[in-house]
A and B are shown apart, each in its own frame.
Chain A
Amino acid sequence: QKEVEQNSGPLSVPEGAIASLNCTYSDRGSQSFFWYRQYSGKSPELIMFIYSNGDKEDGRFTAQLNKASQYVSLLIRDSQPSDSATYLCAVKPGGTSYGKLTFGQGTILTVHP
């Protein structure tokens, strides 16, 4: 089992819809969770992160954590064509691996007009 898993997609949603991206992780001791967006040919850029103690909303983006089921989700409301990109989930484990970030393979999102 991979440490962090994402459905590679592609996930296609119409403009204005809610896009829901999910990520599962294997380490129960994971402390924090990150969502990065990566446009084709570009480097990952941080969208938002949450800690193990709660969800977070930032504009059109909401990150939610389900610790019992060990998955993290990213909701994008009012999706725009400019949101079309690969979304990378990254997890920071606890313990001695402090500082290490493990990425999933990414989910390709396409928002069509």
Chain B
Amino acid sequence: EAGVVQSPRYKIIEKKQPVAFWCNPISGHNTLYWYLQNLGQGPELLIRYENEEAVDDSQLPKDRFSAERLKGVDSTLKIQPAELGDSAVYLCASSPGAGETQYFGPGTRLLVL
């Protein structure tokens, strides 16, 4: 069974530029999560989707971050404009349903210069 797929794996951009991350969850997983992980810290939830509905986006900085999961499968997380403090690893995870075990993708390492 294929795991969670994310791309790109690495991204370097200049501040104020836009950036987008893509995630393909494990087949059949209805719940998708985007996490932010800073160096030396645990992942922090940004947004959780149940199918195509965002059910928890309370930690998403909505002035610059946006996310979508139009068909309830793949998801895209966007930052516009990026700031220096956005440099981190962005992890996508999925689970069969809410409350079930989450499986993480390899993450996208973002560096904002």
- A contact set with B: CB distance below 8 Å: 4, 8, 34, 36, 42-46, 49, 88, 90, 92, 98-106
Contacts and interface: CB of A to CB of B under 8 A. Distances in A.
8 contacts: A43-B91, A43-B104, A44-B91, A88-B43, A100-B45, A101-B102, A104-B42, A105-B42
Contacts of B91: 43-44
Contacts, number: 48
A90 B33 CA distance: 15
Interface in B44-90: 44-45, 48, 50, 55-56
B40 interface: yes
Contacts of A4: 42
Contacts of A44: 43, 91, 104
B101 to A, nearest CB: 6
Given A43-B107, A46-B103, A99-B55, A106 B98 contact: no
B105 interface: yes
Interface of B: 31, 33, 40-45, 48, 50, 55-56, 91, 98-99, 101-107
A104 B42 CA distance: 5
B101 A105 contact: no
Contact of B31 (A36, A99, A103): A99
B101 A49 contact: yes
B40 A98 contact: no
Contacts of B31: 99
A102 B48 CA distance: 13
Q: Which 4 pairs show the lowest CB-CB distances between chains A and B?
A: A103-B42, A99-B98, A43-B104, A44-B104
Given A43-B107, A100-B48, A92 B41 contact: no
A106 B41 contact: yes
B41 A105 contact: yes
A99 B106 contact: no
Contact of B43 (A45, A49, A103): A103
Contacts of A36: 104
Given A46-B101, A99-B98, A106 B42 contact: yes
